[in-house]
Amino acid sequence: MNYTHKNTHPWLGMLIICMSFFPIGCGKYLDQAPTNSLTKEQFFQTEADANAAMIGVYDGLQGCVTQFLAWGEFRGDLVTATVQSTTNYPYYEAFSADATTNISSWSDWTTVYKMIGRANIVIESVPGIVNIDKNFTQEKSDAIVGQARFLRALGYFYLVRAFKEVPLVLTASSSDDVNYRIPKSSSDVVLDQVEADLTFADTKVPAQYATDQATRGMVTKGAVDAALTDVYLWRGKYQQAVDASQNVLNNNLYSLVAGANWFSLFAQKNTSESIFEVQFDYKIQETNNLGGVSGAFTVNPVLTNYYSIEQDKTRSLNNTYVNAGSNVYWKYTGLSVNGTTNIGRPAGDADFIVYRLADVMLLRAEALTHLGVPQKQEAINLINTIRNRAGIAPYVGVDGTADGGLLESYVLKERALELAMEGKRWFDLVREATNDNNPDILISAVSQSRTVAERALIRSRIIDPRSWYLPILSIELNRNPALVQNPYYQ
């Protein structure tokens, strides 16, 4: 090669320079993706992705159970806080209006919104997979979206009952285009959405799944009907509650377990009575803190009195509770009972029953007490069915002409005996006190469950119905300037 620099270099140089300034094939140079997680573009492509996302929502549900239990039970009259729980005592169980300096984990709604957030992503993104994955039919999509909408509804239903007014988040937090700082909605707006979600789910989710565990552990039509019964009753829509509960009664998947096996509801998991039960299993590291949380409370004498007056052997000592020093609740910690030796289950292994048949029957009974004579008669029959199962005397000499309030008090008491420490009692008190415009039901029940020294203080506080709802954590208020503290705590 014998060229001269003068002739070639400038042109060649210019060419090289032009090439290097406008590189070909470097257009995607700046797109880098993580190797330990999926991006949204990589996810929501197949049926398997839809299922995995839905499992994520159920995982969120698992995280909610201690809050569900606490909100539904601990301010009620069936429990007595032990020393360990005094750190949370001031505003939580004592209804103190001072929630500014107290950081109580019982006002933390994080886990519930986490489940709702995951459900929102499923509701938003799963339908699009139908266009991508040929095997993923519209029916399959609806079935998954139905489950997600059920769980979202369930989350909001608990939130409304615990806080009354809450931010209604219905869009997925998938980007920073979403407004994360949204104000509270009224409880009616939230509950309308809950009804809409449940109504959608009612026709879309399967009646049952391949395994019995899944049929009790995942969302079914039975679970939706049970939830609808609960929601309608909460809103005083009694006829609709009756109609919804009829679907549950007609569903041959569900039957009451025999009285002799009553504790197997908790010890054996997923019995025939169970409608929707959040699944846990210590063997695969899916555990909860239900045992520890319920262990922070002992049985209030109110409940032991009920049991002894009714001579209820099926549901009292060594079933609902054991006398390990001082009447400890046993539903989440016991595995078997033989009268003398109590065998505990591995920590964190217990399921959390959201709805079971006896619960729905008593909800139906409560709705019926607000209707006509024949309906009230059915209410008595339903209560007596539950009492018969427990081996205690049925109500005789009362019929459909009895006063609705009396029948309602029967239901309330029966629910205490049957469902103590299942996260129902406080909501029962608030519901009846509110729907019947009779706050005294709640006030007298709660104040009587306290020590004599506390009664006056507690009564003076809960006479204000605003105290029945929890405060919003100050951390959350700081993070969201659009939020306003609940009125009782302002």
Which 90-109 positions form the footprint of another protein (CB under 8 A)? 101, 103-105, 108-109
**What amino acid is encoded at 138 in this protein?**
Q
- For the bound state, the minimum distance from the C-beta of residue 286 to another protein, rounded and expressed in Å, comes to 6
Strand partners, 356: 274
- Report the nearest approach of another protein to the CB of residue 128 (Å): 14
71, 95, 113, 332: residue in contact with another protein (rule CB under 8 A): 113
Which residue among 64, 70, 116, 379 contacts another protein (CB under 8 A)?
116
Minimum gap (Å) between residue 43 Cβ and another protein? 5
Dihedral angle sign, alpha carbons of residues 346, 259, 394, 232:
positive
473 is an interface residue for another protein by CB under 8 A: yes
Distance in Å, CB of 66 to another protein, minimum: 12
| Secondary structure of 410-478 as H, E, C letters | HHHHHHHHHHCCCCCHHHHHHHHHHHCCCCHHHHHHHHHCCCHHHHHHHHHHHCCHHHHCCCCCHHHHH
Q: How far is Cα 100 from Cα 180, in angstroms, rounded to an integer?
A: 23
Nearer to another protein, 177 or 341 (CB): 177
321 CB contacts (<8 Å, ≥6 apart)? Answer: 299, 304, 327, 328, 329, 330
Chain centroid to CA 265: 18
Q: Could you tell me how many residues of this chain bind another protein (CB under 8 A)?
A: 89
Smallest gap from Cβ 202 to another protein, in A, equals 22
In angstroms, what is the minimal distance from the CB of 246 to another protein?
30
55 binding another protein? (CB under 8 A): yes
Residue 337 three-state SS: strand
Query: Which residues between 407 and 466 bind another protein (CB under 8 A)?
Result: none
Q: 321-350: which residues touch another protein (CB under 8 A)?
A: none
CB 67, min distance to another protein, A = 11
Buried b (16+ CB within 10 A) or exposed e, 213-231: eebbbbbbbbbbbbbbbbb
7 binds another protein (CB under 8 A): no
Distance separating alpha carbons of residues 408 and 116, to the nearest angstrom = 33
Taking CB under 8 A as the rule, does residue 258 contact another protein? no
Joined tokens for residue 20: 């290097």
Determine the interface stretch with another protein among 165-173, 194-202, 384-392, 401-409 (rule: CB under 8 A): 165-173
Identified binder of another protein from the candidate list 47, 49, 202, 366, rule CB under 8 A: 49
Q: Does 68 participate in binding another protein (rule CB under 8 A)?
A: no
Q: Closest distance between another protein and the C-beta of residue 219, in Å?
A: 12
In angstroms, what is the minimal distance from the CB of 53 to another protein? 6
By CB under 8 A, the residues from 9 to 38 that bind another protein are 9-10, 12-14, 16-17, 19-21, 23-26, 28-38
By the rule CB under 8 A, 120 interacts with another protein: yes
In whole angstroms, what is the distance from residue 59 CA to residue 285 CA? 12
Residues 172-231 that bind another protein (CB under 8 A): 172-178, 180-182, 213-214, 217-218
Q: Is 284 in the site for another protein (CB under 8 A)?
A: yes
Assess 167 for contact with another protein (CB under 8 A): yes
Give CA–CA dist 429/415, Å, rounded. Answer: 11
Tokens standing for residue 442: 């709640």
Coil, strand or helix at 170 = coil
Look up residue 334 and give its DSSP letter: E
Chosen residue from 192, 212, 281, 378 binding another protein by CB under 8 A: 281
Told to check if 353 binds another protein by CB under 8 A, we report no
Distance between CA atoms of residues 270 and 216, nearest Å: 6
Q: How far apart are CA 156 and CA 167, in angstroms?
A: 9
